[in-house]
Every structure is written in C-alpha cells, then in structure tokens.
Structure 1
Amino acid sequence: MRYTKEPIIIGAVHLPYYGRNNPSQSIAEIEEYVMTNVKVHYDNGIDTVYIQDENLNLGPAMPETIALMASLAKMVKMEMPDIRLGMIMQSHDGEAPIAAATAAGADFVRIKVFAGTMYKAEGIRTGVGETAVQYRAMLNSPVKILADVHDREGIPMPGVPIDMAIDWASHIGADGLILTGHSYQETLRYLKTAQEMELGKPVLVGGSVNEDNIYEILDHCEGAVVSSSLMLKETKPGSLLRWDAEKIKRFADKVRCYRKSR
C-alpha cells in the first residue's frame, strides 16, 4: 500500500485581475476577497491553500505582483497562523515566487515550467527550476517547491517522455511534483509512471479533481490541487465569496475517510 501519511489536498484561490490589468480593483477589495475565500476553505476542512495571481505577462513578475502576493500571504498567515499557505505566479519567473513566499512566511510555491521546455500560448517557456533552487539556497529559505511536469496549459518539447520529464524535475530539486494530463486518462497514465519510479517525494494531481474521482486519484499519488469543482455555481450580487462551503466540507470529509476505506 502506497500511503503512510494523510492525503495532501490543496485548495487553489485565484485572484481577480488587478494592477495594470484592472486599475479599478482596489487593494482593500483584493484583501477582503482573499480572506473570504481562504477562510471558507480553512473553516471547512482544507487547511492547505495557495493563492494564485492571474496577471499574465510575458517576462519576469512585475514589481506590483511580487509586492501584492507577499502582502496577501503575510496577511493570511497573521490571521490563520496554522494554515499551510502557498502561492503561484503566472509570470515566468523562478525567483519572484520564492522571494515573496520567503518574505511572507509562506510554506510553498508552485512553479509551472520547472524543467525542460514548454510551448505555451505566450510563447516558448524554458524551465526555471535551477534558478529557483539556487535562489532559495542563497536566501536560506525553508519554502518548498512544487513543480509541474508537462504543464497541461502547454505542450512539452517533442521527444521528452513523461518519465524523463519527471526525473528532470525531481533531480533539479523539486520537493514535490504535480502531474496533470490533457485528459483524465492521461493523468492516470502519468501517475502510474511516477508510482513505478518510486521517487521518494510527494506526487499530486494539479487539476480536474472532484468528489467522484478523488479516491481513484489517491490510489496512485499523495494528493491533489482542487478548485473549480468546489466553486459556487452562482454568486450573489456584491458577494466576494466564490467557493462553496458545503462542497468543501463534503470533499474534505471524503478525503478524511479515504484511508479507512482502503
């Protein structure tokens, strides 16, 4: 049996557009949005959450992104000291998320293109893993790195099989790996490949996770990132709440029952 620890479930809270992408969005509104939606996860059984900025830019992270993400993460940790908190920046940058997470006292970051090369909508992206690992060492930072392998938002460079990409990310220095295929069956194939490799570090699924498939997923890995399936179908006018407390609680209860059921 693969499991020795409780499954790792990470709730993903996506930020609204801000700064250059939405000048009318105030910092106070973003802070309230983050606290509202992180808290609904924490209060209903998901105590590991990351916040994700949605401001896509072609190069490294903008200064306002680094400052805001650090500020938001610090705010959350002060209000909920026991939460395990992470962050992800959409910018192609190995240093910025490490810097912001370290300054804020966050626990981990997720980096989408960590090893190898990906063809994405914004262009060709080459892995920033070595930069991230070296920068973390320079800061003497305790922040953990979760690295995507074959990020499903793009297409990997031809000729690199999934086992090679997994091996690259693992050896460069990722503390955990995130595997998500373009289809559910491809995700399972990735997971089974990683399982056979016996990596000695956690493997998580990064998307398309729900109540119906979570048990099958956990049979092959240590956990999952979950977001869309736990969102409200409709939001009340003027409300900042985007995630459904009942769905979160039901999902968290099901995950807690996993080990008993197996």
Structure 2
Amino acid sequence: MLTLPEKAVIACVHLPPTPGSPGYDGKIDHIYDSALRDAEVFLRHGVDALIVENFRDAPFHPDTVPVETTATVAGVTREVVRMSTVPTGVAVLRNDASAALAVATATGADFIRVNVHVGAVLSEQGLLTGRSHETLRLRRALGSDVAIFADARVKHSQPFVYQDLATEVRDLSQRADGIIVSGELTGLETSPQDLLTARRATAGPLLVGSGVTPGNLACVYEHADGFIVGSYFKVDGVPGNPVDESRVADLMERVRALRSAAGTHPGDARA
C-alpha cells in the first residue's frame, strides 16, 4: 500500500482535452507532450507525488466516462509512471472511480482520487452517488494495492446525506485510505476549521485538496498530512492556464522552510 512522505506535495498533471471531449483538437501527441513536460517541471522542483487528471474535459460525465477517455488517461498515466521518481495517482473526472482504479492498476500507478465515495451530492453534473461498494470490490477482484483517497464535502457540490463534515469523514475513514478536504470551488482556500474538524474525526492520512499557496500554507500545515496543488501552479493561478515554473519553485521553497522549522523531512513517511 502507498506510503507518502510527511507533509507531501501532490502536483496535478492536468491533461489537455482528451479525445471525445468538446475541446479536443485532434492532436493526441500534444496531450502526452503536455503531461510529460508538466511532470518534469514538478519533479525538478521536488514535489512528492503526481496525480494525472482529465481536468480539461469539461463538461464532465457525471460517473462512467467513455472508453476513449479511459484509454487516453491510461496511456498518458503509464508514460508519467515510467518517467516519474515519485508516487503517481489518477483521477477520472467527474466521478469514475472504477475507471481510475483500473487505470492505476494497469499502469503501475499508486493511488486514485474519488470525488464522491460515499453518500450522494448534487453537483453541476447532476446527482453523484458514492459507489464504494463497487470500487472496493473491484480492487479486491483485481488483486490491486492501489490506495483510494476520497473527498469529504467535495467541491462544486451540495451534500444530500451528510449534513456535517465530521460524520462524513468518519464514514469515509472506514472505506478509504485517506481523506481530502477542499474549498467550495476549484482553487478556493480550504477552511482551516474544516481541516481541524476532519483531523479530529480521522486518525488516517488527511490531505488539503484546494487553495494552497505560499501565503496560506502555514494556516493548514499543522493538521494536514499532504497538499494537492493544481491552480496555484498555473500562470496567474488560473487552473486552465499552463504551469508557471516560478510558482512551483516558490511553493516548494515555502514547504521546505516549514519542514525545516518543524523538524520534518520528505523521507518521514506516513501510511
């Protein structure tokens, strides 16, 4: 099972629009080249893990994605895994956990991110329902050791089942290997209070899923085990823009400073 370094930074490799999505430009090599170029920048500056996402495929399918999406994400993920020196994850948006798990297992990736793993939410894609019963059985059937990181109070949604964060986190902790807490929308800061609530409800790995910057990192550093970073690493902090290498360098410098002050190092692992 996956073990991440203490206070891990997980950088999002956002793919250009994939075949079948409205923005696809017909240039498949561009998707591979973009992903590998971004991954190389992240690795050069010392991120602790990568996660490949079909981020620019919006508007997303609510659950099961077409086979061409799965095939593309699998092909790119395998190339990223082959060149990467750190753990690699997969997210198939909006909520196709089975596809993500199959891709991760087939490509040698280490973990997946699932937006809705338990309960149900109302989102811009309509109703999203947790399928942990299917995902966990699929993992067993595949003989896979891919870790499952699941969102609590996932962004861009309103919950139907869980009216308080702590209850959702406690249930998720029984069905996932780690919990992700985010802001309300992509790129928005994660509430330190929400993070503290989640920390009190789980002893397992807890990740900040959005809004991390060098300026606010210290506010969430103590109670989080890791940080998934997408928007901040882009030009002007806009998620659809290209990666800005200077922003990657700035955040990683801040992380190293906080690690040094706390006496922790990248090799200090947490399961």
What TM-score do you get using the length of structure 2 for normalisation?
Answer: 0.86
Q: Which moved more, 1:30-39 or 1:176-185?
A: 176-185
- 8 Å CA contact retained: 1:73, 1:106: yes
- 8 Å CA contact retained: 2:8, 2:48: no
What TM-score do you get using the length of structure 1 for normalisation?
Answer: 0.89
Name the aligned partner's letter for residue 259 of structure 2: R
- 1:153-193 Cα distance to aligned partner (Å, 9 max, x none): 10111652111110111112x11100113287872222111
Contiguous gaps of at least 5 residues in structure 1: 236-240
Q: Which moved more, 1:9-18 or 1:156-165?
A: 156-165
Contiguous gaps of at least 5 residues in structure 2: 263-271
Q: Equivalent residues in 2 for 1:46-65 (5 A)?
A: 46-54=47-55, 55=57, 56-65=60-69
> Does 2:256 correspond to 1:256?
yes
Alpha carbons of structure 1 residues 107 and 186: separation in structure 2 relative to 1, 3 Å: closer
> Does 2:32 correspond to 1:31?
yes
Name the aligned partner's letter for residue 31 of structure 1: Y
Counterpart CA distance in 2 for 1:58 and 1:185 is 24
Q: Which residue of 1 aligns with 2:145?
A: 142
User: Does the residue aligned with 2:43 lie in a helix, a strand or coil?
Assistant: helix
Q: Equivalent residues in 2 for 1:153-168 (5 A)?
A: 153-157=156-160, 160-168=163-171
User: Does the residue aligned with 1:215 lie in a helix, a strand or coil?
Assistant: helix
> Does 2:189 correspond to 1:188?
no
Q: Which residue of 2 aligns with 1:79?
A: 83
Count of paired positions = 251
In the TM superposition, what is the alpha-carbon distance from 1:103 to its structure 2 partner? 0.4
Alpha carbons of structure 1 residues 92 and 233: separation in structure 2 relative to 1, 3 Å: closer
Counterpart CA distance in 2 for 1:190 and 1:123 is 25
- 8 Å CA contact retained: 1:145, 1:176: yes
- 8 Å CA contact retained: 1:179, 1:205: yes
- 8 Å CA contact retained: 1:129, 1:169: no
Counterpart CA distance in 2 for 1:34 and 1:41 is 11
- 8 Å CA contact retained: 2:11, 2:50: yes
Counterpart CA distance in 2 for 1:234 and 1:91 is 22
In the TM superposition, what is the alpha-carbon distance from 1:125 to its structure 2 partner? 0.9
CA RMSD in angstroms, aligned pairs only: 2.2
In the TM superposition, what is the alpha-carbon distance from 1:79 to its structure 2 partner? 2.1
Counterpart CA distance in 1 for 2:137 and 2:235 is 40
Q: Which residue of 1 aligns with 2:174?
A: 171
Q: Which residue of 2 aligns with 1:244?
A: 244
- 8 Å CA contact retained: 2:181, 2:209: yes
- 8 Å CA contact retained: 1:191, 1:220: yes
Q: Which residue of 1 aligns with 2:104?
A: 101
Alpha carbons of structure 1 residues 93 and 178: separation in structure 2 relative to 1, 3 Å: same
Alpha carbons of structure 1 residues 84 and 158: separation in structure 2 relative to 1, 3 Å: closer
Q: Which residue of 1 aligns with 2:228?
A: 225
Taking only the aligned residue pairs, the percentage that are identical comes to 26
Alpha carbons of structure 1 residues 159 and 66: separation in structure 2 relative to 1, 3 Å: closer
- 1:43-94 Cα distance to aligned partner (Å, 9 max, x none): 11113111110331144121111111111111112222x2211111114323
In the TM superposition, what is the alpha-carbon distance from 1:234 to its structure 2 partner? 10
In the TM superposition, what is the alpha-carbon distance from 1:127 to its structure 2 partner? 0.7
Q: Which of 62, 71, 74 pairs up with 1:70?
A: 74
Alpha carbons of structure 1 residues 52 and 75: separation in structure 2 relative to 1, 3 Å: same
Q: Which residue of 1 aligns with 2:118?
A: 115
